Chain A
Amino acid sequence: MQEEEHIIFEKYLSGDLNGSELEAFEQRLGSDVEFKNEFTLYRDMQGYLEDKIRHADALKNIRSVSSERRVSIEKGTKEKAKQKPRWFYYVSTAATVLILCGILSYFIKPEKAVTYADVYMEPEWPIKRSGDGNKFLRGAAIQTIEENYGGAVNVLKNSDLDVDERDYWIAEVFAKQGEADSVLYYLPNTFKTNERRDRQNYLKVIVLYKLNRQEELNKFISTVPENTRKEYLSIIKSLSPN
């Protein structure tokens, strides 16, 4: 019944109902409240899908920036709780600045402009504010936020996720630490969605870059599809020598 209704709704929305069919449809819309509600819901579902496609990138950006903000707020709250006296900060900041100046003046290599930290972007953990979602992923996300990376990897290793999903998130935890070799080790070769494909390709590019494996990097970049998400594609292209 619902399937038949959906076919008629689709025809109506795409302007394929004519003459008596159209008349009967509109008459029913005016007299049958339940039918009208079903139609309104169907129309909204189609509108939702259009919005989802049209605003996919923008929504992803809002969610990813917001999740970064949330992480930094959580971090800030924790740090506040274990605050040290003010003089401690003055002394330690001064000491750090002095040490850094010394190290920088000795090691600074102006020819290498882009670093791993410049191109690394946080992943969007699939956890919801409501607490829904996979409990292991949630646990791993929290451990990562708290910078307990070993803990995060352990949680993932003991999780009920399928092997590729588990390895992918382990690779993300290592990517956050800049452990390039481990990222390459765990990064799966398969993906279920284009979104995941783009993220995996991006991670592979930045770790190959970090490891300075130029030849492999160039070869891999040439295989990256053009329809890759634009933030990733711009970074990938910026690391390409061509």
Chain B
Amino acid sequence: MSDQELFTGLKSGDRKSVNQLYTQFFPSVKRWISSNSGNEADACDVFQDCLETILLKVDTLDHNLGGLIMLICKRKWIDKVRKKTRTTKVINEESLRKVDENVEEQITKYEEEYLRHQILDEAFGKLSGLCQNLLALIKQGKTTGEIQGELSFSTANTIYRRKSACMERWTEYVKQDPRYSSIY
């Protein structure tokens, strides 16, 4: 599969493409992380975060997919190691410095976006199932009648009151996140 096919497959939710991405690019990420104070399970976590970053925040593929994955994974792992301990042997960051500044700037942007997404996602996960479903159904553009039917609300007014309460709770959870102040 070509880079473009893999990228399109990833975005369209094609399982084969995700497996192919693992087969093609995971071994080199694993090798690099294993030689920099990590193990295979760490590599797996980083690789998953990387694919989610690409999926959510990269709208068009304008550089080599393998290179992009490797760069994002390296940066994610360096950040993780830095957070873990300051005494951990410093990773060879020279390989990152060789990268074009524009590409690096772009990746920093993707990562910031992904962090923002993660904060919102974790806070969203703390909401009740009913709140999550309600907000998603409203965003999908379902009519009040359809929502009433699907979530068994007695009146349309209940939907608006609930929506407002859910949004307030979600906002509260986001603001409670210690990373919130560094983003907003």
Chain A interface (Cβ < 8 Å from any Cβ of B): 2-3, 6, 37, 40-42, 44-46, 48-53, 55-66, 69-70, 73-74, 77, 129, 192-193, 230-231
Which chain B residue shows the least CB distance to A37?
B184
Tell whether, in the assembled complex, residue A57 and residue B129 are in contact, meaning their CB atoms are under 8 Å apart. Answer: no
Tell whether, in the assembled complex, residue A6 and residue B22 are in contact, meaning their CB atoms are under 8 Å apart. Answer: no
Looking at the assembled complex, report how far the CB atom of A15 sits from the nearest CB atom of chain B, in whole angstroms: 16
Which chain B residue shows the least CB distance to A51?
B56
Tell whether, in the assembled complex, residue B44 and residue A48 are in contact, meaning their CB atoms are under 8 Å apart. Answer: no
Tell whether, in the assembled complex, residue A63 and residue B120 are in contact, meaning their CB atoms are under 8 Å apart. Answer: no
Tell whether, in the assembled complex, residue A61 and residue B44 are in contact, meaning their CB atoms are under 8 Å apart. Answer: no
Tell whether, in the assembled complex, residue A3 and residue B168 are in contact, meaning their CB atoms are under 8 Å apart. Answer: yes
Residues of B within 8 A of A129 (CB): 45
- Is B170 interfacial (CB-CB < 8 Å)? yes
- Is B116 interfacial (CB-CB < 8 Å)? yes
Interface of A is mostly: helix
Looking at the assembled complex, report how far the CB atom of A163 sits from the nearest CB atom of chain B, in whole angstroms: 16
Tell whether, in the assembled complex, residue B41 and residue A74 are in contact, meaning their CB atoms are under 8 Å apart. Answer: yes
Tell whether, in the assembled complex, residue A48 and residue B121 are in contact, meaning their CB atoms are under 8 Å apart. Answer: yes
A65-B45 Cα distance, complex, nearest whole Å: 12
Looking at the assembled complex, report how far the CB atom of B9 sits from the nearest CB atom of chain A, in whole angstroms: 9
Known: A40-B184, A62-B55. A48 touches B140 (CB 8 A): no
Looking at the assembled complex, report how far the CB atom of A60 sits from the nearest CB atom of chain B, in whole angstroms: 7
19 pairs of residues in contact across A and B, judged by CB atoms under 8 Å: A3-B168, A41-B174, A41-B184, A45-B167, A45-B174, A49-B136, A51-B56, A52-B136, A53-B140, A55-B11, A58-B13, A61-B15, A62-B48, A65-B15, A66-B44, A69-B22, A69-B44, A70-B41, A74-B41
- Is B135 interfacial (CB-CB < 8 Å)? yes
Known: A53-B139, A70-B41. A65 touches B18 (CB 8 A): yes
Interface of B is mostly: helix
Which chain B residue shows the least CB distance to A1?
B168
Residues of B within 8 A of A52 (CB): 121, 124, 136, 139
Which chain A residue shows the least CB distance to B54?
A62
Which chain B residue shows the least CB distance to A55?
B55
A69-B48 Cα distance, complex, nearest whole Å: 10
Looking at the assembled complex, report how far the CB atom of A69 sits from the nearest CB atom of chain B, in whole angstroms: 5
Looking at the assembled complex, report how far the CB atom of A182 sits from the nearest CB atom of chain B, in whole angstroms: 27
Residues of B within 8 A of A64 (CB): 15
CB contact between A192 and one of B18, B41, B129, B171 (< 8 Å): that residue: B129
Which chain A residue shows the least CB distance to B40?
A73
Which chain B residue shows the least CB distance to A70?
B44
Known: A6-B167, A52-B139. 14 other contacts (CB 8 A): A2-B171, A45-B120, A45-B167, A46-B139, A48-B124, A57-B13, A58-B10, A59-B55, A61-B15, A62-B48, A65-B15, A66-B51, A70-B44, A230-B13
